[in-house]
Structure formats: C-alpha cells, structure tokens
Structure 1
Amino acid sequence: MSEETRRIVCWRHGRTAWNQEKRFQGQTDIPLDGTGIAQAKRAAGLLATLRPDAIVASDLRRASDTAGFLAGRTGLTVEHDKGLRERFGGSWEGLTTPEIRERWPEHDARMHIPDGEDILAVGERVSEAVLRGLARVPDNGLLVVVGHGAALRAGINRMLGLPPEIRQALGPIGNCSWSVLGPLRTGGWRLLEHNAASLPEDRVLGDDR
C-alpha cells in the first residue's frame, strides 16, 4: 500500500497553570494542572479509537505526560524527540502577554523574540521531527505527534508549504486539541482537520476525497 494513506495527528498537550495565567511557557518545563490531566485522559480515550501505530512526543513534561495517557490506552511506547519542543522564548518565558507588550513594545511575538527562537526555524525542526516519526509507521498507518501550540502550528505551516506572510491564516490549537494531516497524491501534505476535540463522522470525512 502506498505511503499516501498515512496520516499524522498533531496533538497539543493539556492545560498547565501557565496556560491558565496566559504566561509564555516556551521551553520552561511546566507540568499539567488538574484540568490538563482531565483533558489528556478524555482526549486519549478518543484518539485511542483511531488505533495509532506510533506516538512521538516532546520531552517536556506537559507533552510527555499527555502522550503517556494515550500510551496507556494503546499499549504503545512513547518515543521522545527534542525536535518537538516548544519555541524557545528567551527572556519572555514566564511573562504574561501584557508584560511582554509593556517591556518590548517594538517586537511582535508571532515572528520575532529578541533572544528567542525564530518561528521559521521552529517549523523546520518540528517538521523534521515529524518525518522522523513517520519512519516508525507502516504505509497505511497513523502517527500521533504530541507537542506544543506554537511549535505544532509552525510545523504544520512548514509541511503545508505556507509562506511566512500568511502563516497566521492557520489558527491556534487549543489545549488537548489536535490537527490531522494527510498526504497529497501529487506530493506534500494537506490539512484534513484543525483544532479538533472530537472525532468526525465517516460521512463528513467522505465529502471531499
């Protein structure tokens, strides 16, 4: 069977206290809070019904622990890849959005952090990590990638080939929501679902094949 039947689920971790407080987390290793654990357990129950073939996750706790709930449901082992870590935020990590705007009014966090990681570089490393994960999946298989909001969105943008000037056309991914990529017959990838928290009915998936 052709590689064209593979799918990739890009699953964001559950909520943390810093998510709730709207703090820039970056690569600071913040754990899930109680709500995040409940979100991860619920989503894992849904995603397990898709019978994934492999799970690859960021090694930061909030993503690794989220992936662990799916591993418990499926019997799979989580493979950790540092390439899936969140965007490094430098001196912005731990700050709220108003604090960042007050201290660095001239900068736009969507593209540039003075001492942080360029968002386009994030997209490159995340897409490379996803492709490494695909090597663990059979030709007709499903890979679940567990990561972080900004990093996953940057990776998806890169895999879809969206130019930087329209990268904001793809909206955010909520805590414990996911997006699904499938291959184009002509090469490359297309977005099948975005920011989902439930499984679509078969007839919806079949509307435009």
Structure 2
Amino acid sequence: MTADRLVLWRHGQTDWNVATRFQGQADIPLNATGLAQARAAAPVLAALEPTELWASDLGRTRTTAAALTSVTGLEARLDPRLREIHVGTWEGLQGSDLDASDPEAYAALRRGEDVRRSATGETVSEVGERVAQALTEIGESAVDGATVVVTTHGLAGRAGMCRLLELPFAHWRTFGSLDNCAWAVLQRHRGGGYWRVAAYDVSVQETIS
C-alpha cells in the first residue's frame, strides 16, 4: 500500500513568527491571522480529496489541522517526529540576540551550514532524517492512490522533503522555508516509485487580516 500524494502543510502564523523569534518546539499558539489562514486554506486542501490527515503534536499544527478536520471530517493523527527543529537555549531569541551572544554560530547559520541550534538543540540534517522517516512510514501505510495531508512546520517540512527526495544537503537551501499555511505537494512517480515535487509553497492568494 502506498500513497500517491503527500501534501506538506505548514501551520498558520504565530506571534513569534511575526517577531522572527527562534520558535523551535516551544508550543506557541496561532494568532488571529494564523487562524484565518488555516480557515482559508482548508477548503482549498479539501478539494485535493485527502483520505488521511497527520500532524505534529504541537498546538499550532494541531489547530491548523483542525481547520481541515472541520471541512473534511478527517481526524488528525499525531506524530511527534513531525515537530519543528529543537532549538534548545535559542528558544525565544531573535537573530540579533544570537549574533550578540554567539556571533560565530550566527554567521555559520546565515551561511547555510548545518549548525546545531545550541548545545541542546538539533541540526537541520537531524530534523530531515526524523521527518523523512515519518513521511516514509505515513506514505507506505496509506492505501494505494491516497492523498495524505501532513501538517508540520517550515524548516521541518523543507528538511524532511529534501531528505525524502535524497537531495544532497548543499541543495536544501534551494527551497526556501514554506510560508505560514502554505504547502508543498509531493507526487509519487508511477513508473519508478520515487517522489517528485509537483508544487511548492502554494498558498491561498488573498489578503487575510
């Protein structure tokens, strides 16, 4: 059994997104804009006729997934492997804070190196590995031809996708982070059985206030 399509959907906006704080696995809720984004995206994703819905177990992803549940009736199944990167002691910091406290790490981060987010955090490649493992299991356990929506996070979604596609780490930055409540569509190639990117950073094109 194998899904035909995986839709990686980033959660809606939070106040920490607006403030550009390192959010990581801090359980920050959606703000009013994020809730509106999820409500607007849900019927568009429902039109893809998903048969399964998965989500990270953090509140912002569960709330985002709930908007799709209200339209489709699909209940989200939770998997902690879909969480955002763990940033350890960087949690809540802004870039300027990190630049002041650890300029070498901040410079390496801006160069796109696989920096560990503080001594107690994760690297991007580690996140890619755990998310890709979850995506592989989710895809392989779905019924043949299924479309599965996976509600996750910006960096985690990108890293997991790139690892699933077996792209070299140096190429991962080619894909920017998914915008809040935007999604990527991975389609399984019927001939070779591998995944390919059918769409990336798709969102509802309207102003939400």
Compute the TM-score of the two structures, normalised by the length of structure 2: 0.89
Q: In structure 2, what is the equivalent of residue 176 of structure 1?
A: 181
8 Å Cα contact 2:14-2:29 kept in structure 1: yes
Q: In structure 1, what is the equivalent of residue 192 of structure 2?
A: 186
Shift of 1:186: 2.0
1:30 to 11, 16, 28: 28
1:149 to 151, 154, 163: 154
- CA distance in 2 between counterparts of 1:132 and 1:142 reads 14
- CA distance in 1 between counterparts of 2:96 and 2:171 reads 25
Query: Alignment identity in percent?
Result: 41
Letter in 2 for 1:137: A
- CA distance in 2 between counterparts of 1:167 and 1:134 reads 21
1:100 to 98, 101, 106: 98
Moved more, 90-99 or 130-139: 130-139
Give runs of aligned pairs for residues 113-128 of structure 1, distance below 5 A: 113-115=117-119, 116-128=121-133
- CA distance in 2 between counterparts of 1:38 and 1:198 reads 11
Measured against aligned partners, the alpha-carbon deviations of 1:80-123 in whole angstroms (never above 9, x if no partner) come to 00000000001111011121122211113352123210111111
- CA distance in 2 between counterparts of 1:138 and 1:186 reads 18
1:91 to 86, 89, 92: 89
Q: In structure 1, what is the equivalent of residue 67 of structure 2?
A: 69
Moved more, 84-93 or 131-140: 131-140
8 Å Cα contact 1:56-1:144 kept in structure 2: yes
Runs of 4 or more above 4 Å deviation: none
- CA distance in 2 between counterparts of 1:74 and 1:153 reads 25
8 Å Cα contact 1:24-1:92 kept in structure 2: yes
1:16 to 14, 18, 22: 14
8 Å Cα contact 2:61-2:153 kept in structure 1: yes
8 Å Cα contact 2:136-2:164 kept in structure 1: no
Shift of 1:138: 1.7
- CA distance in 2 between counterparts of 1:91 and 1:149 reads 20
Flag structure 2 segments of 5+ consecutive residues without an equivalent: none
- CA distance in 1 between counterparts of 2:6 and 2:26 reads 26
Flag structure 1 segments of 5+ consecutive residues without an equivalent: 200-209
Compute the TM-score of the two structures, normalised by the length of structure 1: 0.89
- CA distance in 1 between counterparts of 2:172 and 2:100 reads 25
- CA distance in 1 between counterparts of 2:33 and 2:149 reads 22
User: What is the number of residues matched between the two proteins?
Assistant: 197
